[in-house]
Structure formats: structure tokens, C-alpha cells
Structure 1
Amino acid sequence: MALIRDEALVIRSYKLGEADRIVLLFTKDHGKLRAVAKGSRKAKSRIGARVEPFSHLNVQLWMGKDLHILSQAETIDSNFELRVDLQSIQRAMSILEIVDKLTHDDYPDPTLFDAAIRAMRSLANNQSVMYVPAFFLRAMQIEGFRPNVDTCRLCGTTDDIVAFDPASAAVTCALHPIGSEISAGALRAMRLVLDGHASQAFAVTDREDEYQMEGLVVSFCEAMIERKLKTVHPLLRH
């Protein structure tokens, strides 16, 4: 068995037997891995408290064929602030869910890893409704799913954009209004986020447009990955 060292974000864990856990890790250089944390459910375990979801760790693993062995875990950031209330937990779980859906076992994705670590670190300090959907857009963009929010997909015009079609990942104009209604404010917010100006989007977008953007982005993500996102819907207003 080969020994590796890596950074990891804990996505979730499962009970195994009476004393162990299986931990799902998103690692920077080795992608998504499943590892057994032996004895982690025992009261005196040094690893047990460190392998909680949301935690950013330095890990050491013995690599097996399917399941690996977690031999060491050192906390870089526990992100404990994300466990203080239900809304914070749901927001953090939403970020982990989209990361889980977009990543593959044993396939490195360091750009997405770095983005996820930054998102978890700053999530507790940013209460904008748009924060989670902004990360979703960024994650989808990293994975090659950037939506067209500039020109109507049917005629190419940049004028009178009034709708966004999640299934085609594109906007449409007043002459070809296919998709869900999108306000000027929600459209501006999506453009700002995709162009790397999320902070500006948080500052200039009003609450109604934030909620609309959230719903549209979630629908877009679900259409692209062809799966429902279970953790985001409690965050939606409607």
C-alpha cells in the first residue's frame, strides 16, 4: 500500500462497525477519496473529532484498491462557525453537495478544491442570499459549464434579455422568451459573478433579485448535472 499526504475537505462520513467511520474526502491532489478512520468513534480517538464535515485537514492515507486507510489527520481549519445554527449548516452542506456532484473518485481538481476551501472559510462571514448560488456558478464555470448570459441563444441579440432557460444554459430575449423570467438585477448579478466580481454583485443586488438568481442558478445546476440538489431547497424562499 502506498502512503500519500494531501490536503482534504471532509464532505461526510458514515458509521462502520462499532468503532470506525468511512470518511468521504475531497483532496487537492488525488480527487475524491473514501477512507476508513479506524477507531474514530471511540471516546479517546484523536482523529474522530477532526473528521467532521466542513473540516479542512492535512491527511495521511494508506492507499488501497477501493477503500483507503486514514492514518493521520491534522486540522487546518475546523470551520466550526458553520455549525452554530441550522441556516449555516444548510449553506455549508449545499456547497459540499455541489462539490460532491461535480467531482470524481481519484480525479484531481485542484482549482475546484481551492475555490471550495475559500468558500467554506468565508461563508460564515457572508450572509448574502447570493453567496451559495454564486459559488455554484463559479464551480460550474470551473467544470466547463459556463452559462450564456450575454446574448439570446435564438437570435444573438444583446437587447431586451428577459428570460433564462436552465436546460439550455442560456438567456433569451423578449422576442423569444423561452425559459424563466429574469430581472435586470438578477441578470447583472449572474454576469458579475461569472466575470469574477462576486463582491460587487453582493453589494449592488437587492433582495428580490438575489432570490430570483438563487432559484435560476439552482435550476441551471440541476439541469446540467441531471440530478436534484437535496440540500439547497430549504434555503429557497419559495
Structure 2
Amino acid sequence: MPLYRDHAIVLRTHKLGEADRIVTMLTRDHGKVRAVAKGVRRTTSRIGSRMEPFMLVDVQLYEGRNLDIVSQVEMREPYARRIAEDYALFTAATAMVETTDTIVAQEKEPARENYRLLHGALGTLSRKEHDAGLVLDSFLLRALAIAGYAPSFDVCATCGAKGPHRAFAVSGGGATCENCRAPGSAAPAPETFSLLAALLTGDWATSDASDARHRREAAGLVAAYVQFHLERQVRSLGHVDRGGSEGP
């Protein structure tokens, strides 16, 4: 069986038999990979703690017919250990890996932008550099942009007219002018539009200075936008702890 090695972020795991797990990973060079990690549920396993969601590892695998086989694992960043200590971080990270697993649908297809985005977001969470809710919403907007669903916040998503605009259409791609405004469009505060644009572009000075009510409004719009364009519910979003999103 061909042998290969890669950096990987563990997305999720499932029990297999009495002692094994099926591990779904996003790798740097081989895209999404599903592999069997044998014996990792035994207390004597030396790699079991390394093959947990959010961990960044250097993994060696054998290619299999249906599932690859994990043969060696070395820790690179113990993100899971730091994130698991804080419920807000944990719920945000869970939503990130679920979204990534959904967006990167094809296995063994390169997804380097998704890998870099998730790597950076988990690292930011683990170091507590910004509010967890803001990091999550920034991640979600950027993940959608990589997938081809980047929302517009400064020009009309329908006709291209320059803003600022007052309406936001989840199904229409973002901000819309009065002429293009569809029934049922949201009407976010101007500050919420500014926050959403900042989250998409990585303007953390603006994001960190945002008010709690605008963070809540932005979070609701991001969640609706993500689930509409992915055409499925991201279940972990319903459990995200927004308690830390109080703003200045």
C-alpha cells in the first residue's frame, strides 16, 4: 500500500469496533481524508489523545481501498487541549469544523485555502486573541467566500450600485439597494454592516471595537446566510456560546 505523510487538522471521529476510530481530517496537501486509527480507544494507546477534533498533527498514512490507515502521528499544535478548557471556544471550534466538513465535500481533493483558514482560526481561538463569536463569524464568512458565496456588504448584490445600503437579503447575496430590495429582507443597523465587512476582510480593530448589539445582529445574519447557501443546517451553530460577545 502506498505510504504518504501530511499535516492535518482533525475534524471529527467515530467509533469503529471495540478499540478503533474512523478519523476525518483536513490535510494540507491531500484535502479531506478519512482513515482508521487502530487501537486509539485503548488506555494504552500512545496516539489516542492526538487524534481528537481540533488537533493539528503530522500524520503518516497508508492508502487503503476504502479508508486509509493511520500508521504514525506526531503532535504539532495541541489546539484541542486549550480550546476544551473554555466552553465558548469549544462551541465556536465545533461549528468551524462542522462547516469545514460540509464545504469540503470531496475527499482527496486539494483544499489548501480551507486548511489555512481553519488552521489560522483554531490558532486564534486557542490563544484567545479575539472574542470567540467574532472569530467564528469571520471564519464562516471567509469559508463561504472560498466556496464562491462571498456576501456583499458595500455594493448592491443585485445591480452593483454603491452603498451604503439599508437592506440585507440572505438569498440575494447580501446588501441590496432600495430598487432591488426583496420582500422579507433584513434591515441591519449601519454599524452591523460595518462589522460584517470588517469580519470578512479581517479588520480586527473595527471588529474588536464593535458593540454587543451589533455583534448579535451580525451573528444572526451570518448564521442565516451560511445555512441558506450550504443548503443544510449547521447543527453546532445552535450551541454556540455567545456569552463572551459583550463588546466594549
Q: TM-score, normalised by structure 1?
A: 0.93
Structure-2 separation of matches of 1:86 and 1:12:
18
Q: Report what 2:82 is aligned to.
A: 81
Query: Structure 1 residues 65, 77: closer, same or farther in 2, change over 3 A?
Result: same
How many Å separate the matches in 2 of 1:222 and 1:204?
A: 27
Question: What do the CA deviations read for 1:177-223 (whole angstroms, capped 9, x no partner)?
Answer: 432122111111222233x3331232332111111111111111111
SS of the aligned residue for 2:119 comes to: helix
Q: Report the CA distance between 1:235 and its aligned residue.
A: 2.5
**Distance apart, 1:174 and its partner CA:** 4.0
User: How many residues of Structure 1 are paired with residues of Structure 2 in the alignment?
Assistant: 236
Counterpart contact for 1:21–1:41, Cα < 8 Å: yes
In the alignment, is the contact (CA less than 8 A) between 2:61 and 2:72 conserved in 1?
yes
SS of 2:236's equivalent in the other structure is coil
Q: Which residue of 1 aligns with 2:145?
A: 141
Aligned partner letter, 2:47: I
Greater than 4 Å deviation, 4+ residue runs:
none
Whichever residue aligns with residue 92 of structure 2, its letter is R
> Which residue in 2 is equivalent to 1:99?
100
The 5 A counterparts of 1:1-238 are 1-79=1-79, 80-103=81-104, 104-124=106-126, 125=128, 126-159=130-163, 161-178=165-182, 179-194=185-200, 196-235=201-240
Aligned mates of 2:180, 2:92 — CA distance in 1: 35
User: Unaligned 5+ residue runs, structure 1?
Assistant: none
CA distance in 1, matches of 2:217, 2:65: 45
Shift of 1:228: 0.7
Matched-pair contact (CA < 8 Å) for 1:128–1:202: no
User: Are the counterparts in 1 of residues 55 and 78 from structure 2 also a CA contact under 8 Å?
Assistant: yes
Extract unaligned runs of 5+ from structure 2.
243-248
Looking at structure 1, the residues matched to 123 and 107 of structure 2 have their Cα atoms a distance apart, in angstroms, of 24
8 Å CA contact 1:163–1:181 kept in 2: the answer is yes
Which secondary structure state, in structure 2, belongs to the residue aligned with residue 232 of structure 1? helix
Q: Distance in 1 between matches of 2:158 and 2:29?
A: 41
Corresponding residue SS for 2:133: coil
CA deviation string 1:113-132 (max 9, x = no partner) = 01111110111302253220
Give the Å deviation of 1:159.
Answer: 4.0
Greater mean deviation of Cα atoms: 168-177 or 137-146: 168-177
Does the CA-based 8 Å contact 1:133-1:217 persist in structure 2?
A: yes
Structure 2: distance between partners of 1:236 and 1:83 = 13
- In 1, distance between residues paired with 2:215 and 2:113? 26
